[in-house]
Structure 1
Amino acid sequence: MLKEFEIEPLLKDKTPHQTKAVVAMSGGVDSSVAAALLHNLGYQVIGVTLQLYGTDGNANARKGACCAGQDIYDAKRVAESVGFPHYILNYEEIFKKEVIEDFASTYMRGETPIPCVRCNQTVKFRDLLQVIKNLGADVLVTGHYVRRLEKNGEVKLCRSIDKSKDQSYFLFATTQEQLKLLRFPLGGFYKSDIRKLAKYFSLQISEKPDSQDICFVSESYSKTIAKLAPQSVQKGKIVDVNGKVLGEHSGIVNFTVGQRKGLGIAHNEPLYVIKINTENNEVIVGPINVLMQKKILIKELNWLEQPKEGMEVTVKLRSSHAGSLATIHSTDEKNKACVILNDDYFGISPGQACVAYKDEQVIGGGWICS
């Protein structure tokens, strides 16, 4: 059966038996299959699982999350049954600072955060890549559904074959230096293939559901943020785009840009959240046309391939976005760029990522300012 699931060699100048691969194991099906597949192909596999939260009792893992107590146990079980070493690393303090606190502070700036990108950018890649160096390993392997293509010394990050599972949007902040050491063996397969492999390897987690949403959010987003930032539940005003007071809100934590339902005010036309003014603790609402825009300013740029002025690309403005045609332009501000969409787009949210693609290849992107 394994002949149906051929992958590119992890290293071109070493055989599998000569290659030491650290596999980041979340306890889910994907990373477990990646580890088992490489082990069966003869690679020197070392499993590593990060303890990110929960041991202090302040975070209750939600069902369907990853990196929780049960997931660590599952990863350990897989390693033992397949037959490779496995280590658990406590990264709670780093995760709290880099991801959880950033999640709360982003909301308190009136933005909509994507903690999964921050986690990949810092904890999983930046810090784990240092771990593989300490272990004397050659590569870091993950179960992400993306493809890494290398040609003439250049490394490209591309969408997964399985578009329904593609995770390239969440990896836009990956650097060229990191890509040189990263490997994504599942990018050329469909999720159904991975389930088949899990059963073939007799992994106990073959039927385990996929992780959903944000791993450390055990309740609703608003309740989680309220615990992290109590000021987010202070009462304030709901105003229209002209500053007219329309009502009162019970905390900015309950609102996101583009929201229509649950505003708690009556009006003669549908109103949407246009902006969250955290300085004045105000929620600004307006008609749908105010939320339609073509021009986007992005910051903290990460280009895997430097775009030319006016380069035509397809951009994704949220993970579920199918993509919009656009052009990329430079600005006078350092580490910022302007993206001009061909057509108006509804509800562009500061704090989300704008990721640019050239066909299947990830060019790079940045965080939406406005």
Structure 2
Amino acid sequence: MENAPAKAQGRAPLPGGAFDDAAAGAGPTVMMAMSGGVDSSVAALLLSEAGYGVTGATMKLFGADVVAPDCDSSCCSADDVEDARAVCRRLGVPHYTFNFGELFGEAVIDRFCGAYLGGTTPNPCIDCNRFLKFDALQRRRRELGLGFVATGHYARRAWDARTGRWRLLRARDAAKDQSYVLYHLTQDALAHMLFPLGELTKPEVRELARAHGFATAEKPESQDICFVPDGDYAAFIGRRCGCGAAFEPGEIVNRAGTVLGEHKGLIHYTVGQRKGIGVAAPEPLYVFAKDAAANRLVVGTAAEVQVREVTARDVNLIAVERIEAPRAVTAKTHYRQRSVAATVEQTGDDELRVVFDEPQRAAAPGQAAVLYDGDVVVGGGTIC
């Protein structure tokens, strides 16, 4: 583990009034991951103004073989690449486009399809961050001899001298915080990461973009999974993988096993879903589980789908190397959820048991359970 890096010298401070304290270790060069949106555009601006040697990098992830040419995809289009290139021209910094289409197909799209076909509910944005932005880009950074990778995520990082570890923290703007999708970051990745927007709000970011004449200033937010811009996951998976057992109709049952109706294929449902189940009942029903082996959709009332604990695997811990004893935390089991009080126990080298203080609606297997101590991300794993 490296020592706490020295303070940057000769550069303007990043937002928050302090230098990013990583800059002196590997040099002031940074690969800025640029999607063509307003966030990464302003992040590049801030780094450039702070005196970093910025190189813009846009990932080409898929083309017409994945999303039809006339489909209004939310990112990765030729227009997005040109928007990123235009910002770099305006800043006077180089820009590169990297073709990561094959890796994206394997590490993100195929994992997404496989998870849905297997009855779980994946989060492809976590996989994209993990395998593309914080793995492939870090490898490319090292090949080019640059010091850091920076992204437009709303998150922060800090060196903890007490533990000798890098910490990942929530963004100052709670409404935009994206730390949930970054829980997989390793110590090595964090040592070579910059998050220039961690101290800013979205309105402040847009205002900076307007003030500098960026065409991306009013660009809308990406709302859907980039390779399924119409939101029809089942149709996308059917086109890519064919229509297998997950598309076959089957029984809808309650938790006692009583048949209530027929579902239209398990792939069309997710745990916790309320609308669109298609069964009339005295009170609203929610999806409790998807039994892929029996092709059954298990449902229950709001009270019946409450759970007290989840198990998570594929674990990554950031704040500590290992959880040695049961620890009080707050936890999120999906991106938009408010953190809730819980206790976490490490039950194996790659397994966590999370027990909630109060029962929670059943969490979808395949989603992430992310643990916090205040603003600090303790770590997380995939709910199984």
TM-score scaled by length of structure 2: 0.89
Separation in structure 2 between the aligned mates of residue 61 and residue 11 of structure 1, nearest angstrom: 43
The C-alpha deviation readout for 1:38-64, integer Å capped at 9, x for no partner, is: 223322110000001114364558646
Separation in structure 1 between the aligned mates of residue 272 and residue 224 of structure 2, nearest angstrom: 19
- 2:344 maps to which residue? 328
Separation in structure 1 between the aligned mates of residue 300 and residue 70 of structure 2, nearest angstrom: 37
- 2:172 maps to which residue? 161
| 1:308 counterpart = 2:360 | no
In the TM superposition, 1:89-238 aligns within 5 A as: 89-152=98-161, 153-219=164-230, 220-229=232-241, 230-231=243-244, 232-238=246-252
Distance change in 2, residues 1:171/1:108 (3 Å): same
1:107 positional shift: 1.2
- 2:333 maps to which residue? 317
Structure 2 alignment gaps of length 5 or more: 1-11
Contact 2:14/2:47, CA 8 A, preserved across alignment: no
Separation in structure 1 between the aligned mates of residue 77 and residue 325 of structure 2, nearest angstrom: 45
Separation in structure 1 between the aligned mates of residue 204 and residue 67 of structure 2, nearest angstrom: 37
1:334 positional shift: 4.3
Calculate percent identity across the aligned residue pairs.
38
1:175 positional shift: 0.8
| 1:296 counterpart = 2:310 | yes
Separation in structure 1 between the aligned mates of residue 14 and residue 144 of structure 2, nearest angstrom: 32
Separation in structure 1 between the aligned mates of residue 365 and residue 25 of structure 2, nearest angstrom: 45
1:322 positional shift: 1.0
In the TM superposition, 1:29-44 aligns within 5 A as: 29-44=38-53
Distance change in 2, residues 1:301/1:106 (3 Å): same
Structure 1 alignment gaps of length 5 or more: none
Separation in structure 1 between the aligned mates of residue 23 and residue 349 of structure 2, nearest angstrom: 38
Q: Which moved more, 1:100-109 or 1:20-29?
A: 100-109
The C-alpha deviation readout for 1:62-113, integer Å capped at 9, x for no partner, is: 6462222221111111111221110001111110111111111111222111
- 2:56 maps to which residue? 47
| 1:343 counterpart = 2:358 | yes
1:257 positional shift: 1.1
Distance change in 2, residues 1:10/1:80 (3 Å): farther
1:222 positional shift: 2.7
Contact 1:291/1:348, CA 8 A, preserved across alignment: no
Contact 2:31/2:148, CA 8 A, preserved across alignment: yes
- 2:274 maps to which residue? 260
1:205 positional shift: 1.0
| 1:86 counterpart = 2:95 | yes
Separation in structure 1 between the aligned mates of residue 102 and residue 266 of structure 2, nearest angstrom: 27
For residue 380 of structure 2, what is the amino acid of its counterpart? G
Separation in structure 2 between the aligned mates of residue 39 and residue 98 of structure 1, nearest angstrom: 32
SS in 2 for 1:248: strand
Distance change in 2, residues 1:53/1:10 (3 Å): farther
For residue 187 of structure 1, what is the amino acid of its counterpart? G
Separation in structure 2 between the aligned mates of residue 343 and residue 14 of structure 1, nearest angstrom: 45
| 1:363 counterpart = 2:378 | yes
Distance change in 2, residues 1:338/1:60 (3 Å): farther
Contact 2:343/2:355, CA 8 A, preserved across alignment: yes
Distance change in 2, residues 1:154/1:267 (3 Å): closer
1:251 positional shift: 1.4
Query: How large is the Cα RMSD of the aligned pairs?
Result: 2.1
1:246 positional shift: 2.3
SS in 2 for 1:290: coil
Contact 1:20/1:43, CA 8 A, preserved across alignment: yes
For residue 330 of structure 1, what is the amino acid of its counterpart? Q
- 2:7 maps to which residue? none
1:115 positional shift: 0.5
For residue 261 of structure 2, what is the amino acid of its counterpart? G
1:244 positional shift: 2.9
The C-alpha deviation readout for 1:254-305, integer Å capped at 9, x for no partner, is: 1111222222223344322111111222212223222101111111110112
The C-alpha deviation readout for 1:291-338, integer Å capped at 9, x for no partner, is: 10111111111011233311100111111111111111132x541111
- 2:9 maps to which residue? none
- 1:281 maps to which residue? 295
Separation in structure 2 between the aligned mates of residue 216 and residue 75 of structure 1, nearest angstrom: 19
1:14 positional shift: 6.7
Contact 1:218/1:224, CA 8 A, preserved across alignment: no
Distance change in 2, residues 1:3/1:146 (3 Å): closer
TM-score scaled by length of structure 1: 0.93
SS in 2 for 1:148: strand
The C-alpha deviation readout for 1:102-133, integer Å capped at 9, x for no partner, is: 11111122211111011111111111100000
- 1:71 maps to which residue? 80
